[in-house]
Amino acid sequence: MKDKRITVTGGKGFLGTHLLRNLAEKGYGRVSVADLPEYNLVDIGGVRRLYDEQQPDIVLHLAARVGGIGYNAENPATLFYDNIMMGVQLIHEGYLRRIDKIVALGTICAYPKFTPVPFREDDIWSGYPEETNAPYGLAKKMMLVQAQAYRQQYGFNAIFILPVNLYGPGDNFDPRSSHVIPALIKKCVDAVEAGEEEVVVWGTGAATREFFYVEDAAEAIVAAMERYDKSDPVNIGAGFEISIRDLVELIVELTDFKGRVVWDATKPDGQPRRMLDTTRAAREFGFRAKTDFREGLRKTIDWYRDFRRK
C-alpha cells in the first residue's frame, strides 16, 4: 500500500495533521490533502476537482463540520447539510472512479441517546441520537448506510469507523465551537494566568464521556485502512469512562487552578453516558489505545500554554 495515492480530507485539521504525520512515519510517500479553502467538499464541483487533480487510490475522509453543545444548538441545519453532502458526494464519486477504498469517519454522536454502555456497534440503530447533536450524528451515520449499500450493489470497498471524543495537542480551543476538554483547559489555564477566582462549567457534571488521544486515533485509522475491508461499522476509542465532574477536577489539578468551579445547571449535560466497546477494532485490525489519559491531558495542556505564548 505504500505506493498508493492517498487523499486525506480535512488534512489541515486537528486529527488530519496527526494522521499525516503517522502516514509519513510509516513510509507513505504519496499523500495529498483536500481541505478548505482549496477544496470545498460540500460542493460537487470541489469533490470532482479533488478526484481529477489528486487521482487518489484511497480516500481517508476526516473532513467535517463540528462543534460543541452550544455550536450544535445554534447550527443544526448547517451541521446536517454540510456533513451529509460531503459524505454522499465523496463516496459516490469515489465509486464512479473505481478507487480502491474509502475510509469514512463517523462519530459517537451517531449512537442513540440511551445506548447501553459500553456502546456496541450492533446498537447503533436502536434509537434516536441525543437531541443536541442529532443532525450532525445522523448526517455522519448516513455514510454507513451508503457504504453498506454501495458494497452490496457495486462491491465498492467503503468502511465506516466510529471514533469517540478526541483530544490532544492542536485541538480546537475556540470557545464558540470547542469540545469539552479544550474548553475546560482554556478556562482553567486562562484563569490561572489572569488571576481569576472562578471558572464556570456547563451542566451538572453527572454526564460521563470517553476520551481518545489524537495520536492513538491516527494509529487506528491507518490500521483500519491497511487491514479492514468489511461492511460492519467499527468503534475506535480508549475503552474507559470518566464523569465530567471528575474530568474537571483532574484538569483543575493539572493546570494548578486554585479557584472555585461553578456549575451552571441551566445548561445541558448532553448525552448521559458515552463509552465504546472497542473489542471489534482489536479483533479485526489489532488496534488498542496506548496513551494514558493523565499523560495525554498533560501534553494537551502543555501544548495550549505554548500556543498562547506565540
Question: Annotated catalytic sites, by residue?
Answer: 136
- Which residues have C-beta within 8 Å of that of residue 106, sequence separation ≥ 6? 140, 141, 143, 144, 160, 161, 162, 163, 233
Count CA atoms within 13 Å of residue 136 on its CB side. 23
Pair 144, 84: CB distance under 8 Å: no
Q: What is the Cα Rg of the chain in Å?
A: 19
- Which residues have C-beta within 8 Å of that of residue 260, sequence separation ≥ 6? 197, 198, 199
Which amino acid is located at 264 in the chain? Answer: D
> Dihedrals φ, ψ of 171, to 5°?
-65, 170
- Which residues have C-beta within 8 Å of that of residue 246, sequence separation ≥ 6? none
- How far is residue 219's CA from residue 289's CA, in Å, rounded to a whole number? 9
